[in-house]
Amino acid sequence: MRSSAIELSERVQRGELQAEEIARAFLDRIRTGNARLNALLWVDEERALAAARAVDQKRARGERLGKLAGVPVVVKDNLCARGWKTTCASKILADYVAPYDAHVIEQLSRADAVLLAKSNMDEFAMGSSNEHSAFGPVKNPWDESRAPGGSSGGSAAAVAAGFSPVALGSDTGGSVRQPAAFCGITAIKPTYGTVSRYGLVAFASSLDQVGPLAGNVADAARVLSVIAGRDVRDATSLNRAAEDYEAALGRDVRGLRVGVVRGLDESGNDPSVQQAFGAAMQKLAALGCVPVDVNMPHLSHAVATYYLVATAEASSNLARFDGMRYGLRVTGRDLNDTYGATRTAGFGAEVKRRIMLGTYALSAGYYDAYYLKAQKVRTLIAQDYARAFEHCDVIATPTAPTPAFLLGEKTADPLAMYLADIYTLPPSLAGIPALSTPCGQSAASLPIGLQLTAPAFQEGRLIALTDAFERATGLKDLVPAAYA
Amino acid sequence: MAAPKITTEEVFRVAKLARLSPSEEEAKALRYALDAILGYVTSLDQVNTADVEPTAHAARQVPLREDIVVPGLRREDVLAAAPAAREGGFAVPQVLEGE
């Protein structure tokens, strides 16, 4: 059974548990298990224990504690934490120590959470398997010959293996949801603009969102409540009142209309996924939900759209890594040679591929045919959702077409890897909230995820439905045998 | 495999724009990869986008903040991460010709 973050924080607040003993227990698990999984890049025991002690001292002084009091957290290594290495799993930032805290790190600290480690990821968040890290791949705790998913593979593996009750990841095209599905846990990508991106190293600015990963939806809801909210330092941070996402737990879901998308190409789907999804839909019907067929004709263009928009934005965002102000510098004959030598040595192959693709799509003569065209199809995809949501309250799909694939299975063909994102990309393009939760297992006991999507700002609907589904299936209590 | 539609010259042209210096071998691999991906994304040509506005901005509102000055990062902290620092600034290769 996994530890619940909510339960831990309540016990710390009541004085039944000390934050320091909790931190020690999780650090022990990390020390024992991380070398095999490579989920965590930088673990700072001294700093973590000091932070935990500070929470205990705060309580001893009679001060009020935050909603994550004493709760250990691991965060993806593209989030800046002051004094911690922040490498984005890249050689180009291999020695970079962040001089400031990301907004979400500040929020976790205000809530008295305890940061244990920075987690491994695909380099600059570009990948779906955590095989593109400069510091080695992450293994899936359910089967170490398999990928944990990506790009927040380290965060997902860490929660699944019990290295931390909750984690933060970032999601641009599915990077918290898909690893959550592959690792049998729950994750949320919030509505675009809900969580500040200040201190998140940018990949694609119009798509990136920080999201929680947890062993259950209540914990995910609590973490989301802590990290969400207006931050003037992020120009895309929405000016909306703070929301208590836990208020949605226990809400009645009878009569909720669940949209199922008809006409999608499912030829690439593993039979175990089709079976688990079918069973999930039956479960939802048993809970009183009403299935509704919806048509979304432009969803089949999501992969092409995303890999033009996201790579174009990435080519711009990664221009700052030039060896001048931070990170690696490889000195060349002159300025341009230094830029080229630094970036060629510092970036991995997948990152370079995407920068090249994005640069091409934006270059003179090609901008209209590629980038502008993709921006228009993006509008059509958003319109597909708007029309679908006139007839349903949430839309359900599998999170991924297959369970966790083997390490090395898809790395030879970048396009094959991209096509695996077919379900998670559309909500990212539309900027709407999406959640992945376990809905079954394959014959080989590999987790399978159910993805639920809702209109903008309707995270509550997703949380309520997932809460009911979780209680009906009991799947949140399944843990990988090797990490029980 | 058929010869890629994208030429080696184009690969180097784009690499120059992206400030990348691929080797001949890397450039060849990039050429094949880009060709495959570009070949796939041209499927968007089939989509009728006449009269469709591009999604240029993802945010639903664009709230502005008060125009007040607040402290930024401390110089020492920023320069601590620099590859080379001198006299309170980043030491970089010469940018302009002459002098």
Q: What is the pLDDT of residues A116-129, one digit of tens each?
A: 999 999 999 999 99
Q: What integer is the mean pLDDT of A13-30?
A: 98
Residue of A453, A450, A441 lying closest to A403 (CA atoms): A441
- Given a contact cutoff of 8 angstroms between Cβ atoms, the answer to whether A196 and A242 are in contact is no
- What's the pLDDT tens digit per position in A81-96? 999 999 999 999 999 9
Q: Where are the alpha helices (DSSP H) in A238-348?
A: 271-286, 302-317, 335-346
The question of whether A164 is a catalytic residue gets the answer no
Active-site residue among A3, A67, A76, A119?
A76
- What's the pLDDT tens digit per position in A298-313? 999 999 999 999 999 9
- The minimal CB distance from A377 to the residues B37, B49, B60 is found for B49
- Given a contact cutoff of 8 angstroms between Cβ atoms, the answer to whether A169 and A176 are in contact is yes
- Does B99 score more than 60 pLDDT? no
Three-state SS sequence of chain B: CCCCCCCHHHHHHHHHHCCCCCCHHHHHHHHHHHHHHHHHHHHHHHCCCCCCCCCCCCCCCCCCCCCCCCCCCCHHHHHHCCCCEECCEECCCCCCCCC
Those of residues 48-87 in B touching chain A at CB distance below 8 A are: 49, 52-63, 65-66, 73-74, 77-78, 80-84
CA distance A34 to chain B (A): 28
For the ranges A60-64, A68-72, A415-419, the lowest mean pLDDT is seen at: A415-419
Q: What is the pLDDT of residue A126?
A: 98
Model confidence band, residue A1 (pLDDT cutoffs 50, 70, 90): low
- What's the pLDDT tens digit per position in B60-94? 677 788 899 989 999 999 999 999 999 999 999 98
Whole-complex ipTM: 0.95
Cα B4 to chain centroid distance, Å, stands at 23
Q: What is the pLDDT of residue B22?
A: 97
Spell out which residues of chain B touch residue A369, defining contact as CB-CB under 8 Å.
Answer: 45
Find the largest Cα–Cα distance for chain A: 69
Q: What are the C-alpha distances in Å from B38 to residues A107, A305, A372, A468?
A: 41, 11, 15, 43
- Given a contact cutoff of 8 angstroms between Cβ atoms, the answer to whether A186 and A438 are in contact is yes
Both tokens of A103, joined, read: 């907004």
Model confidence band, residue A246 (pLDDT cutoffs 50, 70, 90): very high
Q: What is the pLDDT of residue A2?
A: 80
- The minimal CB distance from A308 to the residues B18, B41, B61 is found for B41
- The minimal CB distance from B58 to the residues A192, A239, A370 is found for A192
Q: Is 0.90 topped by the overall pTM?
A: yes
d(CA A396, CA A412) in angstroms, rounded, equals 31
Query: Using alpha carbons only, how large is chain B's radius of gyration in Å?
Result: 23
Nearest Cα residue in chain A from B40 = A304
Q: Do B44 and A308 touch (CB under 8 A)?
A: yes
Cα A469 to chain centroid distance, Å, stands at 21
Both tokens of B63, joined, read: 């709230």
Q: What is the pLDDT of residue A386?
A: 98
Q: What integer is the mean pLDDT of A26-51?
A: 98
Both tokens of B58, joined, read: 């993802």
For the ranges A4-8, A29-33, A241-245, B18-22, the lowest mean pLDDT is seen at: A241-245
Active-site residue among A151, A170, A428, A442?
A151
Residue A18, amino acid: Q
For the ranges A242-251, A340-349, A405-414, B55-64, the lowest mean pLDDT is seen at: B55-64
Q: What is the pLDDT of residue A456?
A: 96
Q: What integer is the mean pLDDT of A158-185?
A: 98
Q: What is the pLDDT of residue B98?
A: 66
Both tokens of B21, joined, read: 């210096």
The question of whether A436 is a catalytic residue gets the answer no
The question of whether A352 is a catalytic residue gets the answer no
Q: What is the pLDDT of residue B1?
A: 56
A149 contact B CB<8A: no
